[in-house]
Amino acid sequence: MLRKRWRVLRYEEASAAFNMALDEAIAEAVSFRVAGPTMRFYGWKPAAVSVGRFQKIEEVVDLEGCKKLGVDVVRRSTGGGAVFHDREITYSIICPEDMMPADINEAYREIGGMIVNALKFLGIEGTFEPINDVLVNGRKISGSAQSRRKGMFVQHGTLIYDLDRVKMFSVLKVPKDKLDSHSLGDPAERVTSIREQKKVPWEYATAAMANAFIMNRQWYSGDITQDELARAELIAKTRYANDEWTFER
């Protein structure tokens, strides 16, 4: 029964490398059963671009734009596309694989439904769009990426609270084939935010996310352990803050 009780971590901000490393450190702790299944909410300081595990970074990120604006760049261990992280709520769900649907698409749908519920708490109507997006009025407000390794399930994703389109598309490059596959020509018009839909305070948005994720689940408010922190610092140094990992081809 203890295995089914979720540890919920309070919202904190950290660097891009540390954020990715902490997810990995928590996954290790859960896999060794020294920590229970965990939900984590966090932000990025400074703003960052994360790229998918198999992307060519120079094709999707304007590195000069990032340098000019002080935006970090990190390579995720999960797949998916490049994502700009600024004024958003990022989440991670880390647990044994048997606690989530075996089908990848169904797992995305289950967690996407939680994000739809968070928006509903704020009075915003969202819809889950397979494979892994949540839309409001046809525009993307949330995306996610998932991995399953050695019996462990990790999914992290974003809910955009506020949006600086100029900054976002000063650091992201949108490949032409992706532009051609969408009906909206301007990529800046394909995204939206909570603040564009409804002027709700930040605290309401974070509370809505937490409440939607813990609904109908056993949970407790927990903390990151010192062992997890130490492990995350080592992983960040050797992998996520390492140029060999970030710029690998």
Contact predicate 88/157, CB 8 Å = no
Could you tell me the CA-to-CA distances from 100 to 20, 153, 222 in Å, in that order?
Answer: 21, 8, 21
For residues 208-245, one letter each, b for 16 or more C-beta atoms within 10 angstroms of the residue's C-beta and e for the rest, the string is bbbebbbeeeebeebebeeebeebbbebbeebbbeeee
Q: Which domains does the chain have, with CATH numbers?
A: 2-246 (3.30.930.10)
Contact predicate 159/196, CB 8 Å = no
Residue 178 — very low, low, confident or very high, per pLDDT cuts 50/70/90? low
User: The whole model's pTM is what?
Assistant: 0.92
Residues in the chain: 249
- pLDDT at position 1 over 60: no
Contact predicate 155/142, CB 8 Å = no
Could you tell me the CA-to-CA distances from 113 to 90, 119, 141, 241 in Å, in that order?
Answer: 16, 10, 13, 33
pLDDT tens for 211-245 read: 999 999 999 999 999 999 999 999 999 999 999 99
Q: What percent of the chain has pLDDT over 90?
A: 89
- Contacts of residue 64, defined as CB under 8 A and 6 or more positions apart, other chains included, come to none
User: Token pair for residue 229?
Assistant: 């922190």
pLDDT tens for 69-100 read: 999 999 999 988 999 999 999 999 999 999 99
6: three-class secondary structure by DSSP: strand
First to last CA, the chain: 44
What distance in Å separates the CA atoms of residue 169 and residue 19, rounded to the nearest whole number?
Answer: 22
DSSP state of 162: S
What would the mean pLDDT of 22-30 be, rounded to a whole number? Answer: 97
Could you tell me the CA-to-CA distances from 195 to 119, 128, 135 in Å, in that order?
Answer: 11, 19, 14
What distance in Å separates the CA atoms of residue 186 and residue 29, rounded to the nearest whole number?
Answer: 43
pLDDT for res 176:
58
What would the mean pLDDT of 113-122 be, rounded to a whole number? Answer: 98
- pLDDT at position 183 over 90: no
User: Considering only CA atoms, which of 182, 120, 191 is closest in space to residue 158?
Assistant: 191
Contact predicate 154/78, CB 8 Å = yes
User: Considering only CA atoms, which of 58, 80, 16, 55 is closest in space to residue 240?
Assistant: 16
